[in-house]
């Protein structure tokens, strides 16, 4: 590992400070995807977006992110990685300033689309932990970096709600722009250069992605597992805030924000899963994660009736689901990152784009089924997704390790 090599010829492992830097950077970057989700109401009212079109605030961010996963993240196999990350962060910073100053629907929606497109830099940084780790510590390093990314996802919504409650919705984008600018300075100083081997041009790079998906069973399997888990995760976080705000449970927006903080506990599963993968126990750990996700949606159906018990059951569902999603994500990334450094960015882009599509489907179906069948219908839908993954997982048991 040249970037962190000692004076001897023996390769050294990635330093702890670099793992911490990568984890912090990923969390800061990816949080920008989720700040707007709890703020759709005040943002649409302030910018003149109609209630029927308010969902575009989140949808355009998701569309931009999906395009970035498919067309920008694979560039990590072609262009120098540090420069790619810093260019993306520069665009993110400009888009955040534009969102903070937005007073019209057009400016706000365009800013959100660009934020989504440019924040894929986090998915260029995650493979750094694999590139610069020794094989026997790769899972631990990836797990620790993913802890930071997951923490950014889980904290973004409650932080955005609390900042908006104090200073208005423009403030969260302005604050994030300052933080991203500071992050750019730190990464420019400390992030090592990584130049991929010279090879194909960009068109051939994109064309090769279909071949990778078609000829890489591990990628297809792991992508399906996590697409199903993230669909269930999206169903839960689309429907549960609606149920929490319903007359049956009656939580305020601040109460819902505090409830969302419970998901932070799920972050502890990421480094643990990485260590399990390093010991060669990925297969049983994957089955346990999928089963945990499925069982989590049964908890609300098993608790006694009543507001207190319903809140407790929903909290337990959140904890179990977040643990399962975090663990399976790291197990999956550990598996696909071991397929080859020269294709790692393309593999990561395909993996992320696939399960992000599952998340989008879960969000759309979760809102629709809650409107028609309430929380009970949404919970059974959430239960169905990991069950589909478990059925596919059973076919893995028939194959060699």
The DSSP result for 95-145, as a single string, is HHHHHHH--SHHHHHHHHHHHHHHTTHHHHHHHHHHHTS-GGGHHHHHHHH
Asked if 156 and 70 sit in the same domain, the reply is yes
Q: Pick the last residue of a domain from 199, 214, 238.
A: 199
The confidence score (pLDDT) of residue 7 equals: 41
**Helix, strand or coil, per DSSP, at residue 50:** coil
Q: How far is CA 354 from CA 128, 138, 203, 229, 283, in A?
A: 21, 23, 21, 12, 21
Are the beta carbons of 243 and 314 closer than 8 angstroms?
yes
Which among 46, 26, 1, 50 has a CA at the least distance from the CA of 270?
Answer: 26
The larger pLDDT score, comparing residue 293 to residue 195, is at 293
- pLDDT tens sequence across 216-244: 888 999 999 999 998 898 888 778 877 88
Asked if 133 and 229 sit in the same domain, the reply is no
Length of the chain: 401
Asked if 135 and 255 sit in the same domain, the reply is no
Asked if 251 and 125 sit in the same domain, the reply is no
Q: Pick the last residue of a domain from 199, 229, 249.
A: 199
Asked if 281 and 142 sit in the same domain, the reply is no
Asked if 209 and 185 sit in the same domain, the reply is no
**What is the domain-level CATH number for residue 27?**
1.20.1250.20
Q: How many domains does the chain have?
A: 2
The dihedral through the CA atoms of 162, 52, 366, 393 has a sign that is negative
> Does residue 368 register a pLDDT over 90?
no
pLDDT band at 61 (very low <50, low <70, confident <90, very high): confident
Asked if 291 and 343 sit in the same domain, the reply is yes
Chain-centroid distance of CA 194 in Å reads 23
Which among 390, 159, 368, 149 has a CA at the least distance from the CA of 292?
Answer: 390
> Does residue 305 register a pLDDT over 60?
yes
Asked if 186 and 212 sit in the same domain, the reply is no
The confidence score (pLDDT) of residue 389 equals: 95
pLDDT band at 278 (very low <50, low <70, confident <90, very high): confident
pLDDT band at 43 (very low <50, low <70, confident <90, very high): confident
Asked if 215 and 194 sit in the same domain, the reply is no
pLDDT band at 144 (very low <50, low <70, confident <90, very high): confident
The average pLDDT across 359-363 equals 77
Residue partners of 201: CB distance under 8 A and separation at least 6 = 78
The larger pLDDT score, comparing residue 173 to residue 396, is at 173
Asked if 168 and 77 sit in the same domain, the reply is yes
Least confident of 124-133, 244-253, 261-270: 261-270
The confidence score (pLDDT) of residue 237 equals: 78
The confidence score (pLDDT) of residue 194 equals: 84
- pLDDT tens sequence across 154-213: 888 888 888 888 898 999 999 999 999 999 999 999 999 888 776 678 888 888 888 888
Which among 349, 342, 341, 299 has a CA at the least distance from the CA of 319?
Answer: 299
Asked if 132 and 52 sit in the same domain, the reply is yes
The confidence score (pLDDT) of residue 390 equals: 95
Asked if 176 and 212 sit in the same domain, the reply is no
> Does residue 2 register a pLDDT over 50?
no
Range among 9-13, 20-24, 205-209, 316-320 rated most confident: 20-24
Residue partners of 291: CB distance under 8 A and separation at least 6 = 386, 390
Are the beta carbons of 320 and 265 closer than 8 angstroms?
no
The confidence score (pLDDT) of residue 277 equals: 75
The confidence score (pLDDT) of residue 5 equals: 47
> Does residue 4 register a pLDDT over 70?
no
Q: Pick the last residue of a domain from 146, 179, 199.
A: 199
Structural domain that includes position 118? 1-199
pTM passes above 0.85: no
The average pLDDT across 42-54 equals 77
What is the percentage of the chain residues whose pLDDT exceeds 70? 93
């Amino acid at each position: 590992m040249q970037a962190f090599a000692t004076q001897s010829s023996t390769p050294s492992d990635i330093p702890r400070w670099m793992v911490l830097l990568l984890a912090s950077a990923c969390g800061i970057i990816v949080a920008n995807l989720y700040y707007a989700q709890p703020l759709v109401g005040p943002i649409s009212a302030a910018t003149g977006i109609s209630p029927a079109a308010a969902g575009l605030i989140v949808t355009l961010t998701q569309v931009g992110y999906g395009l970035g996963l498919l067309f920008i993240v694979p560039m990590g196999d072609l262009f120098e990685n540090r420069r790619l990350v810093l260019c993306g962060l520069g665009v993110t910073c400009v888009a955040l300033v534009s969102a903070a100053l937005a007073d019209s629907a057009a400016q706000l929606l365009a800013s959100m689309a660009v934020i989504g497109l440019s924040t894929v830099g986090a998915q260029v940084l995650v493979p750094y932990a694999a590139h610069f780790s020794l094989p026997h510590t790769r899972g631990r390093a990836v797990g620790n970096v993913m802890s930071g990314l997951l923490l950014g996802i889980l904290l973004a919504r409650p932080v955005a709600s609390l900042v908006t409650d104090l200073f208005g919705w423009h403030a969260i984008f302005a604050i994030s722009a300052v933080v991203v600018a500071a992050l750019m300075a730190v990464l420019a100083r400390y992030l090592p250069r990584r130049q991929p081997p010279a090879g194909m041009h960009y068109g051939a790079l994109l064309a090769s992605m279909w071949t990778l998906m078609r000829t890489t069973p591990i990628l297809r399997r792991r992508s399906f597992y996590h697409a199903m888990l993230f669909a269930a995760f999206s169903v839960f976080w689309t429907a549960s805030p609606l149920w929490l705000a319903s007359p049956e449970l009656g939580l305020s927006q601040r109460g819902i924000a505090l409830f969302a903080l419970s998901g932070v506990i799920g972050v502890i599963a990421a480094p643990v899963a990485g260590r399990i993968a390093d010991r060669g126990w990925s297969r049983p750990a994957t089955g346990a994660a999928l089963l945990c996700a499925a069982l989590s949606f049964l908890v609300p159906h098993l608790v006694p009736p009543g507001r207190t018990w319903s809140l407790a059951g929903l909290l337990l569902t959140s904890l179990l689901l977040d643990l399962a999603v975090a663990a399976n994500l790291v197990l999956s990334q550990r598996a696909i990152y071991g397929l080859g450094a020269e294709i790692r960015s393309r593999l990561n882009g395909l993996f992320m784009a696939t399960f992000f599509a599952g998340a989008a489907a879960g969000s759309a179906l979760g809102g629709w089924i809650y409107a028609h069948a309430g929380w009970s219908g949404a919970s059974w839908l959430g239960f169905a997704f990991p069950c589909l993954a478990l059925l596919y997982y059973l076919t893995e048991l028939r194959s060699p390790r």
